[in-house]
Structure 1
Amino acid sequence: MIRVLVVDDDAMVRQLLRTIIEQADLSVVADVGDGDEVIPAVHKHHPDVVVMDLRMHRVSGVEATRSVMALPDPPGVIALTSFDSEDVILEAVHAGAHGFLAKDADPAEIITAIRSVAAGDGALSPRAARTVMTHVQADTSGQKRREARERVERLTDREQTITTAVAAGLTNAQIARQNYLSEATVKTHLTNAMTKLDAANRVQVALVIDRAASGRSHG
């Protein structure tokens, strides 16, 4: 059974998430109310996935995500956000978040994201992908776009096809169906591409791909 740690400073949100998750036959091993409680809870309960609010009083979700990712064999982290601040979302990408959920996501979307991250697929919804892309297009740093383009040029044609699909928010299963490949083959290509792109997870892959595409469109 997938083990989930819920992190949010609103007790009602924590209870709602617990109810949604447990109704799907997943296990909420603990819930905590601030970022400084996350690492002790991870050590104690060994969750597979952490659902992490980004805005908390003492320690932000971004800082807590960074701390989780520094652990050996860390759980996956899904950032819970209102999508009202692109800066915070980008910070969470760089901190190592494996996926994003809107605060108003429906129960099915929440469960799908948790299962996906637990399986190692990540959870970059089309909404999150658009948010990342919007921020990248507003980035005035030509240097970052050039660096991203150089990394993407290291990829094989197949790796470029797969990483572009990842950036669009597709799952490994969807990519496999589109390209008449097995999911195992998609995972192999994606793993190789992540190494070449210096990306820790598929959300960071999307960031590099979007930056490179933005660089081409800006010349």
Structure 2
Amino acid sequence: MTVAVLLADDQPWLRLGFRAVLDAQPDLEVVGEAGDGDEAAALVRELAPDVVLMDVRMPVLDGIEATRRIVASGSPSRVLVLTTFDLDEYVFAALRAGASGFLLKDAEPADLIAGIRAVAAGNAVVAPSVTKRLIETFTRQVPRPPADGRFGELTAREREVVVEVAGGRSNKEIADRLFVSETTIKVHVGRVLAKLGLRDRAQVIVFAYENGVVTPGTADA
């Protein structure tokens, strides 16, 4: 299957570069380009891309609000945020808005391609080391809402999986730590997403920290 990608960036030369890299892949196709967040949200409605490569800072409507609108619309399109800095408060806001992950703008082409494929497959693209720095930095600055009662509906094993996902670990790493098969972990993650009403692993990470399921530093053990 070909993954349809929408590019949203206010710099034409960057879009040109991304298009050249992505269109060279047999399974990726750039189906549209947007120069601001408002245009990006409109093109998502029109083109229904699988993945939106979304810049954070854009005129008219920024990438965060555009992401929020896309997710709130119920669109199946996944948003992969691009940023200049890996510790950018806007990135955390984008994850909270429903983005499936983020990459640095200067990421290697291979990482960009792999990230788009991963997001299209329903996975989060947030490197474990960056996840820890990002979340630990900004959860200290963001007031936590009241504890979410949905967490209490999870089984003991599902709660363990949430903690492991919050540590930025892959299904294989979680399976090894919990001494079960990778397939079993995939099933647990799917159930966690369904019970918590979340789109993907990136939102599980944010949910875990915002609701005190884990606190900065505790997901490393």
Normalized against structure 1, the TM-score is what?
Answer: 0.83
Please tell me whether the aligned partners of residues 86 and 132 of structure 1 are also in contact (alpha carbons under 8 angstroms): no
Contact 1:163–1:209 (8 Å) recurs in 2: yes
1:24-63 to 2 correspondence within 5 Å? 24-25=25-26, 26-63=28-65
Q: How far, CA to CA, are the matches of 2:217 and 2:171 in structure 1?
A: 26
| Cα shift readout 1:26-73 (whole Å, capped 9, x = no counterpart) | 111112111111133223322100010010011100111111112234
CA distance in 1, matches of 2:77, 2:163: 25
Aligned structure 1 segments of 4 or more residues deviating by more than 6 angstroms: none
Q: Distance in 2 between matches of 1:29 and 1:169?
A: 31
Contact kept, 8 Å, 1:121 with 1:171, in 2: the verdict is no
Query: Within 2, Cα distance between the matches of 1:125 and 1:9?
Result: 26
Task: Please say if 1:135 is aligned against 2:138.
Answer: yes
* SS of match in other structure, 2:20: helix
Rounded to whole Å, the distance in 2 between the matches of 1:33 and 1:140 is 30
Letter in 1 for 2:161: I
- 1:118-133 map, 5 Å: 118-130=120-132, 131-133=134-136
2: CA distance, partners of 1:16 / 1:207:
31
In structure 2, C-alpha distance between the alignment counterparts of 1:85 and 1:171, rounded to whole Å = 22
Give the SS at the match of 1:30.
strand
**Partners of 2:82 and 2:102 within 8 A in 1:** yes
Q: How far apart, CA to CA, are the structure 2 residues paired with 1:65 and 1:140?
A: 19
Equivalent in the alignment of 2:156: 157
Q: What SS does structure 1 have at the residue aligned with 2:123?
A: coil
* Structure-1 residue corresponding to 2:193: 194
When normalised by structure 2's length, the TM-score is 0.82
Which residue number corresponds to residue 105 of structure 2? 103
Tell me, in whole angstroms, the C-alpha distance in 1 between the residues paired with 2:31 and 2:113.
15
Give RMSD over aligned pairs: 2.6
- Alpha-carbon deviations, 1:146-194, whole Å to 9, x = none? 626x6555533322332223223233354445544243x3232113223
Q: Is the 8 A contact 1:121 1:172 kept in 2?
A: no
- Uncovered stretches (5+) of structure 2, i.e. residues with no partner: none
Question: Is the 8 Å Cα contact of residues 80 and 101 (structure 1) preserved in structure 2?
Answer: yes
Residue identity over aligned pairs, in percent, reads 35
Q: Work out the CA distance in 2 between the residues paired with 1:10 and 1:119.
A: 27
Q: CA deviation at 1:202?
A: 1.5
Q: Which residue of 2 aligns with 1:22?
A: 23
Amino acid at match of 2:12: A
Which structure 2 residues correspond to residues 60-99 of structure 1 after superposition, within 5 A?
A: 60-83=62-85, 86-99=88-101
- Counterpart of 2:147? 147
* 44-53 or 200-209: bigger deviation: 200-209
Cα distance, 1:5 vs. partner? 0.5
Change (3 A) 1:82 1:215: closer
Tell me the equivalent position of 1:204. 203
CA–CA separation in structure 2 for the residues paired with 1:56 and 1:96: 18
Q: Is contact 2:48–2:75 with CA below 8 Å preserved after alignment? A: no
**Any idea what the Cα deviations from partners look like across 1:54-105, whole Å, max 9, x if unmatched?**
1001110011111111223420001111236643122212211011111121
Q: Once the 2 structures are TM-superposed, how far is the Cα of residue 18 of structure 1 from its aligned partner?
A: 1.2
Instruction: Report how many residues are paired.
Output: 212
Post-superposition offset of 1:140: 6.7
